[in-house]
Amino acid sequence: MPSPAFLPTGVPAGPEVEHDRRLVRRYLLQSALRFNAGSLLFLSLAIALLPLGLGIGTGAPGETGAHKLNPYMVGGGVLALMAWLALMSGGVARGYLARLGEQGKALSAEAMAATVTRRLHAPFNAYTTFDLCTEALSGLALGTALGYAGPAAFRHDPFKGRIVLGRWRPLALGRHVEVRLSTEPGPSCQIELRCRPGVTWFAIQQGQALHAAETVYAQLRQQLERHAAALEAARRERELERTSLQARLSALQAQVEPHFLFNTLANLKYLIRTDQQGAQDMLDHLVGYLQNALPDMRSVSSTLGRELDLVSDYLAVMRIRMGERLRFEVAVDEDLRSLPFPPAMLISLVENAVKHGLERASRPGLITIGASRECTRDGQVLSVSVVDDGVGLTEQAGQGTGLANIAERLLLLYGRTAGLVVEPAEASGVRAVLTVPVAGKGA
């Protein structure tokens, strides 16, 4: 009795694969029919051209040397050749089945098919998806993965959303892969890729179509996932920047919130003892100030109208404190009040005008607030000005957190598209102009 065969130590036995017998019979029959059909077409063409090449045919009356083809000999030769081709195709097909078994794979309908289809969903619009597909399929890497000697022969039509690639031209003659994109407008699109056989339909199918379809499918999916990951990373980076920006803005804005409140409450405490009506008026304006200020104390956006109301209540409180030494005027068109405007900046400019301009002057002063919308090369901008006729620019003006705070917040919110200009006024005093884009981010 023969001794059993043993595997080397440490080498696991490969899985035994049983092919579906029905698929195997179908595959063997399909291989024989396709291969013989192709061979028969070639032989038919050769037989049709043979008399022309050899001068064989029916001679004219009285002529000798002409030969006739024996139809029985030709038919027998064709049948013998077809039988031999059938046996040869069966051997090739069984060899492919044996290789599949060695690889631990079972025969499938797609492995024996000449045409294989794959579908893929792209989370981008059709134009972006077409560009990504073109980039992924036109390189040397895909041609190498498909077994070509170089880059695949390539043809694309962006208007039809169609890409075709194969080993040689004309592409339709050989085995090729056709990629089609749905061109309907929308945030996403569908991709359908189909491996077509060309003249290789008559060849014995050994999984070439399946391999080509899966290779192209994997290349497209990798490209789409890579682009989606890049967009997600950029989105997360923007989100982190926005969160960091929000935290920095809140910290900067918190520096100016207590400034006015401490001074007003101290003055209110004094008026309660000396002028009860003045204290009542100051308290009314303080309530109005807080009603406008509190909703936006932790916000990075507001409107010009809300900031003007906030400033008006502030100046009304300060006028009670300073008496006739303070007058103010707000000259802003009504249609500008609804425009976006960063919070707590205009009030800082007005505080500077009162503290460094009018409080230091020995005469009555006027604060004028104006606004205008202008067109520039970069788009529309909103310019808000605060003009006082006080003592003008001094060494103390602008010290502390006021103007530096505004400049840093403008840079965080708008970059270089916004600005703050502080300059001497025409007659006397200071003119501060704050410029922001009308459609700027964060506005």
Q: What is the pLDDT of residue 6?
A: 39
Please indicate, yes or no, whether the overall pTM of this predicted structure exceeds 0.85.
no
Give percent of the chain with pLDDT exceeding 90: 30
| Residue 96 amino acid letter | Y
Ranges of residues in the chain with a pLDDT under 50 are 1-13, 64-66, 256, 398, 400, 440-443
> Where does 189-298 have alpha helices with state H?
208-274, 276-293
Angle in degrees, CA 7, 9, 13, rounded to 5 = 45
183 exposure class (CB count in 10 Å sphere: 0-12, 13-18, 19+): middle
User: What gap in Å lies between CA 377 and CA 195, rounded to an integer?
Assistant: 52
Q: What is the pLDDT of residue 430?
A: 92
Annotation: CATH topology of 275-437: Heat Shock Protein 90 (3.30.565)
What would the pLDDT profile of 275-287 be if each residue is shown by its tens digit?
A: 888 888 888 888 8
204 exposure class (CB count in 10 Å sphere: 0-12, 13-18, 19+): buried
**What mean pLDDT, rounded, does the chain reach?**
80
- DSSP letter at 442? T
Structure tokens at 235: 């989105």
Report DSSP letters for 217-231, one per residue: HHHHHHHHHHHHHHH
Q: How many CB atoms lie within 10 A of CB 221?
A: 16
Q: What is the pLDDT of residue 49?
A: 65
Closest CA to 177 of 167, 164, 190, 168: 164
Annotation: CATH topology of 116-231: Alpha-D-Glucose-1,6-Bisphosphate; Chain A, domain 4 (3.30.530)
Q: What is the pLDDT of residue 3?
A: 42
Report DSSP letters for 302-345, one per residue: EEHHHHHHHHHHHHHHHHHHHGGGEEEEEE--GGGTTSEE-TTS
| Residue burial 108-133, b: 16+ Cβ < 10 Å; e: rest | eebbbbbebebebebebebeebbebb
Q: Which residues neighbour 218 within 8 Å (Cβ) at sequence distance 6 or greater? A: none
